[in-house]
Structure 1
Amino acid sequence: MAALKLFSLRNALRSTVAPQVCPLIRMNSLRRLSTESQTVQDASDDPFLRTPEEGLIYAKVTGIGWNTLKTDVINFFDESNLSTDDIKVEYTKAYNPVGMLLQFSSQSAFDLALKQNSRKGRLFKIEKVDRSHWDLTISYDGKAVMLEGLPLNSTIEDIERFLSGCNFDPSRFQTSVRPGFPDPVKLAIVHFMSRIDATNAFCWKNRNFCQNNPVSVRVLQ
């Protein structure tokens, strides 16, 4: 008889307690899943926890010489698959080259360049820069030349006569004067229709005379 009463009491407890406990367990599970989901979402919104996305990487290379060409840099970093359109030369106000800006297709391409530079004796210094640095740097793309040593009193007409026979753009002359010894030096930037036209101007006109001054011609990359 005592066993029968114990069995009835156990059944009564199951019928009254279980329906109340199960919802609590389900509610706690839902709360835990909701919290975990929120944690994952918060992590995805945090830029420090988010997985970096592949995209263009910009870098500045210094340690180049006066005669370093874009093709020299392309061959040096050959594993990164750079093209001439991925490189801009950075010039001073006197148009002396001080570095090159490189545009890499991905982080992995940039990492390959770092490894190659290390393997080859760190010939260049290479560091990341913002895209704004790239956007603000003019690319002459081998279609412009610098004339250096023009007479201080030379006019646009004098420069046009000097460039007679060359296929240049007469609407885009830029002239300036920089300090020099014993006299200031007059410069002119002349734009051409193509790289071949600019190269031809260098071959035909370098060290020719404008009035009585020998003028040096240099192609801007």
Structure 2
Amino acid sequence: MTNLNLLRKALGSHFTSRSATPNHGLPVFFRQSSRFFSTEGEQSPPESSANSFLDTSETAGLVYGKLYGITRNVLKTDIVNLLEGCNLSLDDVKVEYNRSFTPTSMMMQFPSWKAYDNAFRVIGRRGRMYRLERADRSQWDLLSPYNGKIILLQGIPRNAALDDVERFLSGCDYDATSINMFFRASIPEPIRMATVLFPSPTQAMHAFLTKNRGFCLNNQILMRVLQ
């Protein structure tokens, strides 16, 4: 009986040690598995980085907008001052005119999406008479900037010659080869106009101040500086 009991003890300890091995092994496996899945779950920061990359509101790059609601008396400086803090300069604004040189909108070039969004908020808060919409780079490229160097003359007599316009502008510094005369539809009859290029905005403004509402032959000439 003693030998039998010893045999049973030996067999019992053998099975106990074998069964203990899986019991200790399984928790280790699951602990390793949990660490593996935990590591995979911790890889969300790269995904967040990708999302921030797709969010272009903070990304540098030129963004274009078109401002509607402007009138003939609105200057580029008025809009730049209105959008102070949006990193706009006068070179970042172009005025769009129709065939009769009536301003229809202003194109603006923003340095980033953040600047555009800021301008959108400012206009909604302070410039409710205006409306800002997104525009394409192609629209910006098609517009010729006048930059305050070109003056529009309106009301030139039908029988006026080039020499008559030059006499009207006597005393002003301008490019005589740039004078371009044309007709535009008006009521009750077409109106004759001309555009003239000046070396600088200062000289164009001087001509406007000294010659506006002067007479060419018997017609009073209205002048306007194109932006």
TM-score by length of 2: 0.75
Q: Residue 165 of structure 1 aligns to a residue in which SS?
A: coil
Shift of 1:50: 3.6
Structure 1 residue 177 and structure 2 residue 173: aligned?
no
* Alpha-carbon distance between aligned partners in 2 of 1:111 and 1:132, rounded to the nearest angstrom: 21
In 1, distance between residues paired with 2:187 and 2:61? 48
Residues in 2 aligned to 1:161 and 1:121: alpha-carbon distance in whole angstroms? 43
Q: Matches of 2:84 and 2:210 in 1, distance apart?
A: 33
Q: CA separation in 2, counterparts of 1:51 and 1:77?
A: 23
Q: Which residue of 2 aligns with 1:82?
A: 88
1:207 aligns with: 213
Structure 1 residue aligned with 2:109, among 89, 103, 107?
103
Secondary structure of the 1:88 match is: strand
In the other structure, the counterpart of 2:148 is: 142
Pairs aligned (count): 205
Please list the CA deviations of residues 27-84 of structure 1 after superposition, one character each: whole Å capped at 9, or x if unmatched.
xx9xxx9xx9xxx8xxx7xxxx844342011100011121001111111111212111
Q: Alignment partner of 2:115: what SS?
A: helix
Asked if 1:133 is matched to 2:142, the reply is no
The amino acid that maps onto 1:115 is R
CA-atom RMSD in angstroms:
3.3
- What is the CA–CA distance in structure 2 between the aligned matches of 1:79 and 1:193, rounded to whole Å? 31
Q: 1:160 aligns with which of 163, 166, 169?
A: 166
5 Å-filtered alignment, 1:63-74, equals: 63-74=69-80
Aligned AA (2:100): A
CA distance in 2, matches of 1:163, 1:115: 44
Which range moved further: 145-154 or 113-122?
Answer: 113-122
- Structure 2: how far apart are the matches of 1:81 and 1:87? 11
Shift of 1:123: 2.4
Larger Rg: 2
Secondary structure in structure 2 of the residue aligned to 1:171: helix
- Post-superposition CA distance 1:72-101 (Å, at most 9, x none): 111111121211111101101000011111
Partner secondary structure for residue 155 of structure 2: strand
Q: Aligned partners of 2:125 and 2:189: how far apart in 1?
A: 46
SS of the residue 1:151 aligns to: coil
Given residue 102 of structure 2, which amino acid in structure 1 is its aligned partner? N
Q: Secondary structure at the match of 1:150?
A: coil
What is the letter of the counterpart of residue 169 of structure 2? Answer: L
- Aligned to 1:78, the other structure's residue is in SS state coil
Helix, strand or coil: the match of 1:207?
A: coil
Q: Residue type matched to 1:175 in 2?
A: M
| AA at the equivalent of 1:92 | N
